Amino acid sequence: MNTTVIDAHNISKVYNPKTIPVHAVNEVHLHINKGEFTALVGPSGSGKTTLLNLIGGLDRPDKGNIFINGTDITKLTAGELISFRLHNIGFVFQSFNLIPVLTAKENAEFIMLLQGVKRKERERRMMQLFKDIGLEDKMDVRPEKLSGGQQQRVAIARALASKPQFILADEPTANLDSASASNLLDNMAKLNKEENMTFIFSTHDQRVIERARRVITLVDGKISSDTAVVPTTEIQTGQVTS
Ligand SMILES: Nc1ncnc2c1ncn2[C@@H]1O[C@H](COP(=O)(O)OP(=O)(O)OP(=O)(O)O)[C@@H](O)[C@H]1O
Ligand SMILES: [Mg+2]
């Protein structure tokens, strides 16, 4: 049975409404089920970041409703929204956003500290996550000693550690070389498959788009196409059984 995690109804965001209005997101409907692995694509300025920010509660729509696991986040107060985000939504940004003075483990642990997760449980999740991302030997290293790809994997671990309903990633591979980008996608796909974690990522990178199972294209703030796809890598390796 499909479980809805995101249900956005008719959402719009207009920048500069009083001068030269920009309809960054224009009456968008979006339904995402648990376990989806979705790429958000479209030309620069088509509204990908704005849409991700609205769904993630980092910004508010001017119009419409956004239900996350049944809660309409457009109705929450600022304080409630911060708390809701903390407990429900994982973010991965283009620029990694790790805190330089903290180790990889401390960075990934940080949100759990804010959530009040007990030490023993934090340790358990950290061991498992760093194993999953293949960085068990880098837990005590600061970000400056990690490659871009490794930093981004720590950012994924940080997002996952908070046990979110879904992870939003805005161009997560934009600052990575192609080998690191591929490795990051391997990690995301593994977590998607094994933990049924829902991912929505924006990207311009065709190789990243090819890994998605659903591709949503935005043009001028509107969804112009929404397609379910079978990743070509699976067709080539014959992993598709149904
Ligand atoms: N804070 C802002 N103030 C005014 N206009 C904005 C703001 N943020 C975005 N815009 C405009 O909204 C539109 C959508 O921008 P957005 O950043 O969502 O696009 P994008 O698809 O993420 O682009 P890119 O692929 O370059 O990251 C653009 O026309 C942009 O110029
Ligand atoms: Mg963007």
In a domain, 242, yes or no: no
CA of 226 to the centre of ligand 2 (A): 18
C-alpha–C-alpha distance, residues 90 and 52, integer Å: 11
| 119-132 and 148-161 helices, crossing angle to 10° | 140
In a domain, 148, yes or no: yes
Domain limits for position 202: 4-237
By C-alpha distance, which of 69, 4, 71, 67 is closest to 35? 4
Q: Which atom of ligand 1 is nearest to the CA of 221?
A: 14
Q: What is the pLDDT along the chain (242 residues), one digit of tens a residue?
A: 789 999 999 999 999 999 999 999 999 999 999 999 999 999 999 999 999 999 999 999 999 999 999 999 999 999 999 999 999 999 998 888 899 999 999 999 999 999 999 999 999 999 999 998 899 999 999 999 999 999 999 999 999 898 899 999 999 999 888 888 888 899 899 889 988 999 999 999 998 999 999 999 999 999 999 999 865 555 554 444 44
C-alpha–C-alpha distance, residues 197 and 37, integer Å: 8
Q: What is the pTM of this model?
A: 0.91
CA of 228 to the centre of ligand 1 (A): 26
In a domain, 129, yes or no: yes
Query: Using CA positions, which residue lies closest to atom 6 of ligand 1?
Result: 15
The CATH number covering residue 179 comes to 3.40.50.300
Query: Using CA positions, which residue lies closest to atom 12 of ligand 1?
Result: 24
Total count of domains within the chain: 1
